[in-house]
Amino acid sequence: MSYVFFYDESAHSRKINKETVLSANYEHDFVSVIVGFNENKANEILNNYLCFESAYKAKFTVAEMKSEIIRPKHIKHGFASLDKLTVSMLTEYFNFVIDNNLYIYYSAFNKIEYVINQLFGDYLNFPLFDMDSLRYTITKILVMNEPRNVFEAIYKNDGSLVNELKKFMQQRIVANQDVQHKQMETSAFQQALLLLDDYKERFVIDWDYGIAFIGFKKYLTEKGIEEYSLTIDREGNGKTLYAAKRIGIKDAYEEDSKNSAGIRIADMLAGLVSKFLKNIVFDLKYTSHEEAKKLKLLSNEWFNIDENKLNLYKMFKQIIVNQNDAWYKSFSGNYADSFLYFICLLNYFSGFKNIQDYKEKTVEEHKVLLNYLAVANLNDYFTRMHSKLPIEPISPNDKEYYYNQRGAKCYFDYTRQGNLDIPKLKSNKERGVVYRVLSVGFFGNNEQPCVTIYKDEQAQCLLLPNELSDWAFTMVAFSNAGGNFFPSEVEFGYLDQCYYAKIL
């Protein structure tokens, strides 16, 4: 079975420099969207979209239906800001995407993170220090505060960046004194300053468009799609097409969006996601250090919605989160705060049955509840980021199992895996059972810990009790950060109503 996919992007910067970042219309997140469907249904789907476009081109008085018809100010506070015509248009557009069950892949990468990753690319994670967290922290500092001196130092590339970062962080440490909710930030700054003392300057900015296609390749593998074509919006000097082929996307071509309804379908979604991310960042950004001492919530205007706009959020969530769901349906860098907040926003509004249910709460209650949800999701994200769990897609096949990297059989339905035999001990004078552990990992969305052991002259993957999840997370984090703990002899036991695991 063959599929056709179409790519477009939004908020791209063909040249990333000081003027780009400091401009009034700058957007921190580079967003790309790829939509696709079965090639056998292509004519029917594209003709239906042309009919949709024809109906609304006249109403918007435009020659081409693209996301630019929705100005950032028209969606300043999400769907609450939309006029009736745009609500009607988006309702039909969302219905089209849902009714045709389109495949949706999208990525969002912060441009400042890309620069920071280049600046600190030579530093690796090691057991006592998490460089991913440091890069995340520095990126967030710059995005939230946009310190002009630091930005200028980045793009001058004259060796002054480290000193400017140090000065900025030192100023923030002093300013954060006695501000309780900033103590974790201060601790991160102190760790960053220690590392920056040893920084070696080596920096060249060259935006890599291949980032957008890394996740898409994994998405295709996860979905078991082998036969496909990808049509890319023709812009610039062909770097996007070159990047796609370099990453390994076969059968990729360029086309002008004027001649491709498929690209325009992707463009509408890419532009919409990009505008949401930009407005979330803008609304949550601190405008002064005094304001930063208080909790920042979305403005009241985001929550002044009616039934039609609530339904828009429900449809948008269906498309972005649920439709043809996969682990690699979305792809982002480490700094994904605005993207995660955007997903939380969709989930929050979609959680209400109807507008009457929604209006039972005050605007202030909605703001606080959304913030609680966002904080919880960010904490979960931080846990995954620190764990360094490697996640690779597995191609579906006609078998019920696959073999992991240690050669052990693993069922797609992991509940069929056997359990590691752990003895119950009567006292601390008894010893648990010792296994030769080859690796530690997780099944599912990090919900079921497991170990691969060597027993009976073969590798066996067995489930651990959930009580050992924290141990498993720690072991995986250290191993992937350079700890190299496995293979090792590990003693397992159950003593005083607790499971334990001890590397010997």
Convert the pLDDT of each residue in 372-418 to its tens digit: 888 888 777 666 655 555 555 555 555 788 877 788 888 888 889 99
Q: Which of 387, 411, 445 is the last residue of a domain?
A: 387
- Same domain? For 467 and 318 the reply is no
Q: CA quadruple 404, 410, 411, 415: dihedral positive or negative?
A: negative
- Same domain? For 215 and 353 the reply is yes
- Same domain? For 222 and 353 the reply is yes
* Predicted confidence (pLDDT) per residue in 191-225, tens digit: 778 777 766 555 455 566 677 898 899 899 888 89
Residue 165 maps to a domain: no
Question: What average pLDDT does the chain have?
Answer: 83
Q: Which two tokens stand for residue 395?
A: 């191609």
Residue 155 maps to a domain: no
- Same domain? For 382 and 405 the reply is no
Q: How many structural domains are present in the chain?
A: 2
Residue 498 maps to a domain: yes
Cβ atoms of 441 and 472 within 8 Å: the answer is: yes
pLDDT of residue 7: 95
- Same domain? For 378 and 414 the reply is no
- Same domain? For 355 and 481 the reply is no
- Same domain? For 285 and 430 the reply is no
- Same domain? For 276 and 313 the reply is yes
pLDDT of residue 289: 64
CA distances 107 to 7, 11, 269, 467, Å, are: 11, 12, 12, 35
3-state secondary structure of 412: coil
* Predicted confidence (pLDDT) per residue in 280-314, tens digit: 988 887 766 666 667 788 999 999 999 999 999 99
> Measured between alpha carbons, how far is 228 from 121 in angstroms, rounded to an integer?
34
Residue 96 maps to a domain: yes
Q: Where are the beta strands (DSSP E) in 328-443?
A: 330-332, 401-403, 409-411, 433-443
pTM: 0.74
Q: Which residues of the chain have pLDDT under 50?
A: 14, 127-128, 203
Residue 266 maps to a domain: yes
**Share of residues in the chain with pLDDT > 70 (%):** 83
- Same domain? For 381 and 408 the reply is no
- Same domain? For 357 and 475 the reply is no
Longest distance between any two alpha carbons in the chain, whole Å: 83
Beta strand pairing call for 227-233 and 2-10: parallel
Residue 153 maps to a domain: no
Cβ-in-10-Å burial (0-12, 13-18, 19+) of 54 comes to exposed
pLDDT of residue 2: 93
pLDDT of residue 382: 63
pLDDT of residue 397: 57
- Same domain? For 381 and 405 the reply is no
Q: Which of 342, 362, 387 is the last residue of a domain?
A: 387
- Same domain? For 277 and 383 the reply is yes
**Residue 450 is part of which domain span?**
401-503
- Count of C-beta atoms within a 10 Å radius of residue 397: 10
